[in-house]
Structure 1
Amino acid sequence: MAISRSDLVSALAEKAGTTKTEADAVLSALSDVLLDSVGKGEKVSIPGILSVERVSRAARTGRNPSTGETIEIPAGFGVKVSAGSKLKAAAK
């Protein structure tokens, strides 16, 4: 089961002892920082929790699954998210 944004905001507000409005503003700010930093190619790390970084993907040849036709896929970027030690331990 996935946790929704409103559930996350409620949990953050409760843990931080703040209002839901303030917790929502902090979550929005975190999203903005992640998007801006990864867009610039900077790695964002929250020690023990996770790290997020932009990775390069080389150009490659692919295949259209419907027709079997080969296609050229241009080089581009992807996002790599790595779990930190505390997050991995919580998943056990």
Structure 2
Amino acid sequence: MADKSLNKTDLVAAIAADSGQSQATVSGIVDSLFSVLAKSVGEGTKVQIPGWLAVERTHRAAREGRNPATGEAIHIAAGYGVKVTAGSKLKAAAK
């Protein structure tokens, strides 16, 4: 696994330096991006940025599971998850 990470503050600073915009402006745009992404995925809309990534809501059916502490059978309710798929440009950048 990678020993480096880029948090939101570092990402905003890097985008601001690359674009010549202020960090406050970039931070607002990043916040808006994730707000729209969350709202869209929450409504069941697939969000695609061709070549970079796709994010979509997935449905998980109800199922039976086991309590790991007691071994007792439990019912796990149906729900939703999120699937993020890397696009070709992102995959190529990782090579």
TM range (shorter): over 0.9
Root mean square deviation of aligned Cα: 0.7
The amino acid that maps onto 1:25 is G
Unaligned regions of 5+ residues in structure 2, if any?
none
Aligned AA for 1:35?
A
Which structure 1 residue ranges, 4+ long, deviate > 4 Å from structure 2?
none
Q: Give the Cα–Cα distance (whole angstroms) in 2 for the partners of residues 69 and 16 of structure 1.
A: 56
Equivalent residue, structure 1, for 2:75: 72
1:38-49 pair list within 5 angstroms: 38-49=41-52
**Mapped pair 1:24 → 2:24:** no
Distance 2:46 2:12 in 1: 25
- Quote the offset at 1:17 in angstroms: 1.5
Q: Hey, what does 2:53 align to over in structure 1?
A: 50
Structure 2 residue identity aligned to 1:6: T
Shift in Å, 1:33: 0.5
Secondary structure at 1:65 match in 2? coil
Aligned mates of 1:16, 1:47 — CA distance in 2: 21
Look up the match of 2:94.
91
User: Residue 4 of structure 1 aligns with which residue?
Assistant: 7
- Quote how far apart the aligned CAs of 1:8 are: 0.3
- The count of aligned residue pairs is 92
TM (norm. structure 2) is: 0.93
Cα deviation, residue 15, structure 1? 1.6
Question: TM-score when scaled to structure 1?
Answer: 0.96
Identity of aligned residues (%): 55
